[in-house]
């Protein structure tokens, strides 16, 4: 146990020191250049009724997590063995698309102008071009990456020291990606899920709907906190045990930057771009470093 602690500290403290140094330098420059300013805190943005908040999350949870998986799994045993892999891949894609279609249909029937403001509020006093939105998304990744990496590394050290044995249980999403790498079809579906579906669906739900709803009640900072907390808790997995702790802490920190981006530009494309960039770097790291 002593040797494990010694190896753990030697392997991680240098990385933590590096990330903390980068985080301090980058965040200081960002602060000096007024990146963290929110001059239009009182601008409420889209009016999201409580009914819309509940309905969108109900559709998402019902179709994405319950109805479609149960329906597809009930048919699975009826599929001939040689077609089961194709069926599973098609089932994943169908789940994404059908959930998105039902969300679109519901939102289409709501107040159109308010739904469009979720994606990009052109009445926002600091409304920017789409190109500028994406630029802020990239700058936000540069600023957020060392901060989130520092928080992740520190949390992993503390969890490994006080709560778990030397054996580590990988995150569900990481296992899913690694298991898909041996098959081109599975890899394509995994990439589509991680790099397209997750950023668009999650940003629409957690930033666009949830954060916009709480903004008008609590103000922007508490709205960011609530949306980030619920965003992280949605990724909880009972099979991961205490390994959920670094995952949820990391996602809360990352979600805070996503929420801040959305508040800064009132454009969902900014937070989507940040989300896609973050996920892309994570995928590249897993593929090429095997961690």
Whether residues 220 and 97 share a domain: the answer is no
- How far is C-alpha 32 from the chain's CA centre? 28
Residues 101 and 8 in one domain: no
In a domain, 140, yes or no: yes
What's residue 29's pLDDT? 97
Among residues of the chain, what percentage have pLDDT more than 90?
60
Q: Which two tokens stand for residue 272?
A: 């989507």
**Is 56 part of a structural domain of the chain?**
yes
Is there a single domain that holds both residue 30 and residue 172? yes
222 shares its domain with 257: yes
**What residue has token string 């959930």?**
99
Are residues 252 and 268 both part of a single domain? yes
Asked if residue 200 and residue 152 are part of one domain, the reply reads: yes
| Same domain flag for 22 and 40 | yes
Looking at the structure, do residues 259 and 278 belong to the same domain, yes or no? yes
Q: What are the tens digits of pLDDT across the range 27-45?
A: 999 999 999 999 899 999 9
Q: Do 89 and 168 belong together in one domain?
A: no
Q: pLDDT, tens digit, for every residue of 88-101?
A: 888 888 898 999 99
Q: Which residues of the chain have pLDDT under 50?
A: 1-5, 166
Residues 57 and 147 in one domain: no
Q: How many CB atoms lie within 10 A of CB 74?
A: 9
120 falls within a domain: no
Look at residue 164 in the predicted model and tell me its pLDDT.
Answer: 58
Q: What is the pLDDT of residue 285?
A: 82
Element (H, E) at 212: helix 212-218
Q: What is the pTM of this model?
A: 0.91
My answer on whether 35 and 165 are in the same domain is yes
Total residue length of the chain: 291
Domain count of the fold of the chain: 2
Q: From CA 196, how far away is CA 13, in angstroms rounded?
A: 34
Q: Which domain holds residue 94?
A: 48-110
Clarify whether residues 89 and 142 are in a common domain.
no
């Amino acid at each position: 146990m002593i040797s494990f602690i010694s190896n753990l500290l030697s392997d991680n403290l240098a990385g933590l020191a590096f990330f903390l140094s980068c985080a301090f330098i980058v965040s200081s420059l960002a602060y000096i250049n007024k990146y963290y300013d929110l001059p239009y805190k009182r601008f409420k943005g889209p009016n999201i009724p409580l009914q819309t908040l509940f309905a969108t999350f109900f559709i998402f949870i019902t179709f994405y997590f319950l109805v479609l998986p149960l329906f597809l799994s009930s048919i699975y045993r009826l599929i001939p063995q040689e077609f089961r892999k194709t069926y599973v891949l098609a089932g994943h894609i169908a789940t994404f698309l059908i959930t998105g279609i039902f969300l679109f249909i519901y939102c289409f029937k709501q107040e159109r102008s308010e739904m469009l403001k979720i994606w990009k509020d052109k009445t926002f006093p600091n409304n920017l071009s789409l190109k500028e939105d994406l630029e802020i998304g990239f700058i936000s990744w540069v600023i957020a990456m060392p901060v989130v990496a520092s928080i992740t590394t520190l949390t992993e050290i503390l969890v490994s020291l006080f709560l778990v044995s030397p054996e580590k249980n990988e995150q569900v999403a990481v296992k899913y990606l690694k298991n898909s790498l041996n098959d081109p079809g599975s890899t394509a579906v995994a990439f589509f899920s991680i790099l397209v579906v997750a950023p668009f669906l999650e940003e629409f739900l957690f930033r666009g709907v949830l954060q916009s709803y709480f903004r008008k009640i609590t103000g922007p900072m508490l709205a960011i906190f609530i949306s980030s907390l619920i965003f992280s808790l949605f990724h909880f997995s009972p099979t991961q045990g205490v390994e959920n702790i670094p995952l949820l802490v990391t996602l809360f920190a990352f979600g805070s930057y996503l929420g801040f981006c959305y508040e800064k530009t009132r454009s969902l494309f900014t937070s989507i771009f940040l989300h896609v960039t973050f996920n892309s770097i994570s995928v590249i790291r897993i593929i090429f470093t095997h961690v």
